[in-house]
Amino acid sequence: MNKINYQKELDKLIEQNMREDLSPSLLLHSCCAPCSSYTIEYLSQFFKITVLYYNPNISPKEEYNHRLNEQIRFANLFDINVLYDEYKNEDYQNAINGEENLGERSHRCYDCYKLRLEKTAIKAKKLGFDYFTTSLSISPYKVSKWINEIGFLLEDKYKISFLYSDFKKEEGYKESIK
């Protein structure tokens, strides 16, 4: 089975949109401002972005609010709106029930990605966006293959296009930590 280079797939889509002079709308799930920094800088050249901050996995609530405020501050630099819902750590706890002791890159993470991506897909569809995606793939600790597989499944389920990506490629992760 061939390994998919999600960055090349994204590059092809961007080239096609540029040829057709398109600037589609994108709902970008963001886990935090640092991870979204490179993603927003890169994608804002080609898409009309709105950020969705949905991270019920963050605790305590004070940390969640701190990250939300930083996300809003950063997005304001690009004149990008940030959507967010009330903090509900129980959404995360329910999603990973029975997997609490599993480590990074385990099925617990898969379920957490799915929770956040599904929320993004539903909101993107409801609000009429052309695409949805996440900044999660920028982290070397996240499994981009799983993120893109989940995106593929949600794309089919909700009939909204998922923007395939692996933002850690092309030095994306290094740029995000600068």
Residue whose token pair is 């991870």 = 35
Whole-model pTM: value is: 0.93
Q: What is the DSSP string of 129-161?
A: -SEEEESGGGSTTS-HHHHHHHHHHHHHHHT-E
pLDDT at 169: 67
**Residue 3 predicted with pLDDT over 90:** no
Query: What one-letter code names the amino acid at 86?
Result: E
* Rounded Cα–Cα distance for residues 26 and 49 (Å): 5
How do residues 24-62 score in pLDDT, each as one tens digit?
999 999 988 988 998 999 999 999 999 999 999 999 999
Mean pLDDT throughout 150-156?
97
Q: Please, what is the average pLDDT of the chain?
A: 92
pLDDT at 1: 46
* Rounded Cα–Cα distance for residues 142 and 173 (Å): 11
Q: Calculate the alpha carbon distances from 98 to 87, 115, 151 in Å.
A: 22, 15, 24
pLDDT at 167: 83
Answer whether the bond into residue 60 is a cis peptide, omega within 30°.
yes
Among the listed ranges 19-33, 47-61, 125-139, 164-178, which one has the minimum average pLDDT value?
164-178
Mean pLDDT throughout 65-94?
96
